[in-house]
Structure 1
Amino acid sequence: MARMSSFPADAHPRYNALLAEWNELLRRCQAGDRDDPVDPAPYGRDLLERWAEPQRRYHTLDHLVAVLARATELTAYADDPDTVALAAWFHDAVYRPDRSENEERSAHLAERALREAGVDGARIAEVARLVRLTVTHDPAEGDRDGEVLCDADLAVLAGDPAAYAAYAAAVREEYGFVPDDLFRTGRADILRRLLALPRLFRTSYGHDQWEAVARRNLTTELELLEA
Structure 2
Amino acid sequence: MADSDTASAASLDALRTRWSDALRAARGTGAEGPDPVPYADHLLKRWAEPQRRYHTLAHLTAVLDHVDTLAGHADEPHLVRLAAWFHDAVYLPERSENEERSARLAERALAEAGLAPADVAEVARLVRLTVTHAPGPEDRNGQVLCDADLAVLASAPEAYAAYTRAVREEYAFVPEDAFRTGRAQILAQLLALPRLFHTPQGADEWEPRARANLRKELAELGAAPA
User: Which of residues 57, 60, 64 in structure 2 aligns to 1:68?
Assistant: 64
| Alignment map for 1:1-227 (pairs within 5 Å) | 11=8, 13-30=10-27, 37-226=33-222
Instruction: State the 1:20 CA deviation.
Output: 1.1
RMSD: 1.8
Report the 3-state secondary structure (helix = DSSP H, G, I; strand = E; otherwise coil) of the residue aligned with 2:221.
helix
Q: Residues 9 and 48 of structure 1 are in contact (CA less than 8 Å); yes or no, is this contact kept in structure 2?
A: no
Instruction: State the 1:140 CA deviation.
Output: 1.1
Determine the C-alpha separation between the residues in 2 that align with 1:196 and 1:31: 41
Report the 3-state secondary structure (helix = DSSP H, G, I; strand = E; otherwise coil) of the residue aligned with 2:204.
helix
Deviations 1:23-78 (A, max 9, x none): 121122226686x5211110000001100000000000000000000011001110
Determine the C-alpha separation between the residues in 1 that align with 2:4 and 2:10: 12
Q: TM-score, normalised by structure 1?
A: 0.93
Q: Residues 10 and 16 of structure 1 are in contact (CA less than 8 Å); yes or no, is this contact kept in structure 2?
A: no
Q: Residues 103 and 127 of structure 2 are in contact (CA less than 8 Å); yes or no, is this contact kept in structure 1?
A: yes
Determine the C-alpha separation between the residues in 2 that align with 1:156 and 1:194: 13
CA separation of 1:31 and 1:204: change in aligned 2, threshold 3 A: closer
Q: TM-score, normalised by structure 2?
A: 0.93
Q: Residues 5 and 52 of structure 2 are in contact (CA less than 8 Å); yes or no, is this contact kept in structure 1?
A: no
Determine the C-alpha separation between the residues in 2 that align with 1:58 and 1:46: 19
Report the 3-state secondary structure (helix = DSSP H, G, I; strand = E; otherwise coil) of the residue aligned with 2:89.
coil
Q: Residues 68 and 152 of structure 1 are in contact (CA less than 8 Å); yes or no, is this contact kept in structure 2?
A: yes
Q: Residues 47 and 57 of structure 2 are in contact (CA less than 8 Å); yes or no, is this contact kept in structure 1?
A: yes
Q: Where has structure 1 moved over 2 Å in runs of 4 or more?
A: 6-13, 30-34
Q: Residues 4 and 56 of structure 2 are in contact (CA less than 8 Å); yes or no, is this contact kept in structure 1?
A: no
CA separation of 1:10 and 1:165: change in aligned 2, threshold 3 A: closer
Deviations 1:69-127 (A, max 9, x none): 00110011101100100100100000000000000000000000001111000011010
Name the % identity: 62
Q: Which runs of 5+ in 1 are unaligned?
A: 1-5
Determine the C-alpha separation between the residues in 1 that align with 2:209 and 2:7: 34
Determine the C-alpha separation between the residues in 2 that align with 1:58 and 1:8: 8
CA separation of 1:155 and 1:10: change in aligned 2, threshold 3 A: closer
> What corresponds to 1:3 in structure 2?
none
CA separation of 1:46 and 1:7: change in aligned 2, threshold 3 A: farther
Q: Residues 22 and 78 of structure 2 are in contact (CA less than 8 Å); yes or no, is this contact kept in structure 1?
A: yes
